[in-house]
Amino acid sequence: MTKAHASCLLVAILGACAATELDTSIALRSTAKRRPPPPPLSLPGGAGGALARKQAVLYLQVEVIDQTRDPEMKFSVGALAVAKAELESLMPQMKRFTVYSVFNDGAKRLVRDLSEIGEMDNGAASRLPAADVLLNVTMTLNCEKAKMSGPGKGDHTLDEIRRYRETVVYTLTDRNGRILDDTPEASGTLSHPLRRDVGRLVNLQTGKVEYKGGFDPSDEASQAAIVREMTQALNKALSARLALAIPLTADVTAINSTGTAFSFSKGSRHGVYRGGEVVVWARTGDFDYVIADTVSEPTADRATLKVVRWNTDDPAAARIVHELRNQPDAVKRHQLFGTTKSIPEKEQVVEK
């Protein structure tokens, strides 16, 4: 092979490699461009209903069941009471509902905050507000022993793993006991597991037992701490479900001069959360149009809704969007509302 032929062959190989790299690069760019479009913006169920426009009255009934099989690992009566009281205390933190707790004897108590429970006996039932919704909750607790190691050297050491689980089965119904079928979040099951390592140090001479880390699985205080931690986690998940099942709707009163944020007439005192999703929509005649998806920044009584995405997919909505972004005074010519759609995982209620 001559030098000329070798040079031509080398040029051809390099050209083929470059073409292959170019084809690969184009293919990768082409694949990246084929991302699925975002789902269309939608209005939460019940957004235009009367219940969404009011501070809903919720009657809460909680039953707690210990499903632990081993009698030696069952929860104490006090720990079971903590599970019930913790959920009853946490539920009003949503601020979306006025919560009344219903007891087995028929008495009802207004749950005001984390530490105060006002009692209302049967004789005061006629003065209670009618329930908008009923929340029935069955909480089951379970504890299992995962493993145990044998004795060690010196002090007799027994180590085991306790696996705890709390499960909540709930149904949300109207005042007549009918499940709210228009939303899948009206009923369901939530579960939260927890693990604790148990270490016992037994003095062979005195027989005295000490627990590593201070966690004694038979101690009521230790059990109560476990139950409280699981209930707090489940309450967050349950609150998010309820926020979807019964959203809050209020007036949108203004849009800023740059067309990037709305003013909302409700705040954290009414159940609006920092970082929560709020859908802004317009009612024109008999039709409702989703205008934008926003994120809320609340104070106690009002909120700023920062626009994340405008609805330009629907032609009718797009015309309203164009008008609002270019003429802030156009808010006065439209019936604009905001409806909460989700609660962020880490709730941050602002009280100012």
- C-alpha R_g of the chain: 29
List Cβ neighbours of 118 (8 Å cut-off, separation of 6 or more).
Answer: 109, 110, 112
Q: What is the pLDDT along the chain (352 residues), one digit of tens a residue?
A: 555 455 544 444 445 454 455 454 545 455 556 677 778 888 888 888 888 999 999 999 999 999 999 998 999 999 999 999 999 988 888 888 999 988 765 566 676 543 444 444 444 555 788 899 999 999 999 999 876 555 544 444 557 788 999 999 999 998 888 887 667 788 999 999 998 877 777 777 777 777 776 788 888 999 999 999 999 999 988 988 888 889 999 999 999 999 999 999 999 999 898 999 999 999 988 899 999 999 999 999 999 999 999 999 999 999 999 999 998 888 988 999 999 988 775 543 333 3
Phi, psi angles (nearest 5°) of residue 305: -110, 105
pLDDT of residue 40: 85
What pTM did the predictor assign? 0.75
In this structure, how many other beta carbons lie within 10 angstroms of the beta carbon of residue 265?
A: 16
Distinct helix (H) and strand (E) counts, the chain: 4, 14
In this structure, how many other beta carbons lie within 10 angstroms of the beta carbon of residue 212?
A: 12
Q: For helices 220-245 and 77-90, give the axis angle rounded to 10 degrees.
A: 30
Residue 14 DSSP class: H
| 165-199 residues labelled b (16+ CB within 10 A) or e (exposed) | bbbbebebbeeeeeebeebebbbeebebeeebebe
Block residue for tokens 């802004």: 280
Distances (CA, A) of 129 to 86, 89, 180: 24, 20, 20
User: What domains lie within the chain, and their CATH numbers?
Assistant: 51-143+164-193+216-245 (3.30.160), 249-342 (2.40.30.230)
Give dist(CA 100, CA 103) in Å, integer. Answer: 10
Give dist(CA 75, CA 71) in Å, integer. Answer: 9
